[in-house]
Structures are given as C-alpha cells and as structure tokens.
Amino acid sequence: MTKVAVVTAGLGVPSSSRMLADVLSDALEGELSVSGQDVTIDVLELRDYAVEIAHHLVSGFAPPALAAASRNVTDADALIVVSPVFSGSYSGLFKSFFDVLDNTALEGMPVLLGATGGSPRHALVLEHAMRPLFSYLRARVAPTAVYAAPQDWGASADNEPALEQRSRRAAREVAGMLVGQSPARPSHQLEPSAPFEELLARIQTRTS
C-alpha cells in the first residue's frame, strides 16, 4: 500500500488550493494504479491546525491533533504540497507547518509541488520559494511543479484541461520515483548514435 500525504494551505471554503490538491492527488493515484499499486490519500488542511501550529512554535510541543497529522505526513511514501501565493511567496501558515517538523523528516521523500494565485505572474513562486524550501529539507522534488491561476481551470485548444495535462506529467514523475524508475523522456531528441565528427560535418555542410 502506497501512502500519499497531501498538505494544502488554502484558507477559504471552497479553496482553490484544495481544488488543485485534489487534481494532483487524482493524477498521482491514476499513475500509480497503472503500475498495480494500491494508494491511500490523506489530506491535511492546515487551516484546521493553525492554532495548534502557533502553540507548537511558541511552546516547542505539538498538541495531540497536530502531532498525529505530522506523523501522517512524515510516515507517507510521497507528499503533495499546495500553497496559495501571499506577498509573492508561500503562505506563512504553510511555512510554519514545515518549520515545526524535524528538518530530516522529509529526507528522500518524493514531493510534488503546487501553488495557486490570482495571476499567472506569480507562477515562479514554485521555483524561487517552494523548491528551495524542499531542497533544503532534502526531499526529492519532482521536476515538474504545477501552478494554477484562475484561467488555468479552463480547457485547452484540444478540449483537455491544460491544468490536468501538467498535473499528469508531474504525477508520472513522482510515480516513477516511487517505483524506482525514471519518467519517460520525450522522443524528440537528437540522434545519439552519430559520432561527433559526423555531427560536426553536418553542421558545416548546412552552413557552407
């Protein structure tokens, strides 16, 4: 049984962060089911633990509910994290939760990053804020991260939601980590078998 923990820091009800977390969870569950793995999904909505997180930061001791939720995260086989963008970065509640975890608790864990915001301009929060955080925690972060602005919930030109396309790609990468395989590489690559001299000759021919 593969255990997937989902941490979402959305504050509203409904929350776009929770909506994205559900899309990513469904995508990962689908990818893992292809390889015959049974999956359990445990969703942790941080707004339900905001007071407990604050107490932990002040006292150094986790209340029972927060301690149980933290164990569900650290005992998981893979982690999906989604934060709304506040002031150009992840939310304070999101960061505070990972501050109260032991800094070795996520070492080696596959992590899929997600974020939501009101504008596509905030998409780089995934790379300049969230990815460095989980790299510091020595997690195995999937190459593809998923950002959702309001317009991303529509359909693409081929009538398949673009958000789901990106989510499936990220899910394939995490599933590959879990089954010990690298995700399939795109087929549009240079021919690897030609010697360097032959490749150089081709370039010279084209430019002459």
Over the stretch 64-86, which tens digit does the pLDDT of each residue have?
999 999 999 999 999 999 999 99
Strands (DSSP E) contained in the chain are: 2-8, 39-45, 78-86, 89-90, 110-116, 140-141, 146-148
Q: What DSSP designation does 125 have?
A: H
Structure-model confidence comparison of residues 58 and 152, the more confident one: 58
Taking all residues of the chain, what is their mean pLDDT, rounded to a whole number? 86
Nearest-CA neighbor of 86 among 96, 99, 101?
Answer: 96
Sign of the alpha-carbon torsion through 43, 55, 131, 141? negative
What pLDDT does 42 receive?
Answer: 95
Confidence of residue 180 (pLDDT cuts 50, 70, 90): confident
Least confident of 70-79, 125-134, 143-152, 187-196: 187-196
What pLDDT does 121 receive?
Answer: 85
Model confidence over 16-57: pLDDT tens digits?
999 999 999 999 999 998 888 889 999 999 999 999 999 999
End-to-end CA distance of the chain: 60
Measured CA to CA, the distance from residue 20 to residue 10 in angstroms comes to: 10
Measured CA to CA, the distance from residue 167 to residue 147 in angstroms comes to: 9
Structure-model confidence comparison of residues 199 and 36, the more confident one: 36
What pLDDT does 151 receive?
Answer: 83
CATH code for the part of the protein at 2-207: 3.40.50.360
Percentage of the chain surpassing pLDDT 90?
65
In the predicted structure, residue 184 carries a pLDDT above the cut 50? no
Give the start-to-end residue ranges of the domains of the chain. Answer: 2-207
Least confident of 11-15, 22-26, 92-96: 11-15
What pLDDT does 35 receive?
Answer: 81
Q: What DSSP designation does 128 have?
A: I
In the predicted structure, residue 189 carries a pLDDT above the cut 90? no
Residue with tokens 């990053």: 113
In the predicted structure, residue 88 carries a pLDDT above the cut 90? no
